[in-house]
């Protein structure tokens, strides 16, 4: 029995050494797996935001409403916005990203849209394009992958 490690008494009065969570053989693999999932999704959000900035058309728009989050513990709202394409079509879209303090109905905003995918239009801010969330998820994914490597190498 290693000195300083916690001991777990079993029902039949035998003692076994209990391993801390981060020393478990499956923990580094799970941490790495979830890190890679966050890293992949964050990277996808960043690439999507970059593509929209490169290919997208900027037009003025207006916030027409807000949709409250379905989660009763969340105070975020998704803005609903309307814009007119360069071809003259009026489009109304509900944002995919919620915010704690979103633009309010009647606010004028800049809209980015892909002429091939009008429903994927975004309000032209970092939070609404997805680039802010992409950076957060990518950073968190890198942190988890790094942590799993350090655990595997017994550095942590």
pLDDT tens for residues 26-60?
A: 688 999 999 999 999 999 988 988 888 888 999 99
Does residue 7 sit in helix, strand or coil?
Answer: strand
d(CA 82, CA 4): 63
At residue 85, φ and ψ (nearest 5 deg) are -70, 165
Q: What is the dihedral of CA 12, 17, 18, 22, to 10 degrees?
A: -160
Hunting for tokens 């490169």 — which residue is that? 54
Does pLDDT of 10 surpass 80? no
d(CA 63, CA 79): 7
């Amino acid at each position: 029995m290693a000195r300083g490690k916690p001991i777990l008494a079993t029902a039949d009065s035998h003692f076994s050494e209990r391993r801390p969570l981060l020393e478990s053989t499956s923990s580094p693999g799970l941490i790495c797996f979830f890190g890679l999932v966050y890293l992949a999704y964050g990277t996808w959000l960043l690439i999507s935001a970059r593509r929209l900035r490169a290919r997208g058309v900027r037009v003025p728009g207006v916030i027409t409403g807000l949709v409250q989050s379905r989660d009763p513990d969340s105070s975020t709202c998704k803005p609903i916005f309307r814009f007119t394409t360069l071809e003259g079509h009026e489009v109304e879209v509900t944002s995919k990203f919620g915010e704690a303090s979103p633009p309010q109905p009647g606010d004028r905003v800049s809209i980015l849209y892909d002429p091939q995918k009008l429903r994927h239009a975004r309000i032209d801010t970092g939070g609404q394009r997805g680039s802010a969330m992409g950076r957060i998820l990518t950073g968190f994914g890198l942190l988890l992958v790094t942590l799993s490597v350090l655990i595997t190498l017994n550095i942590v």
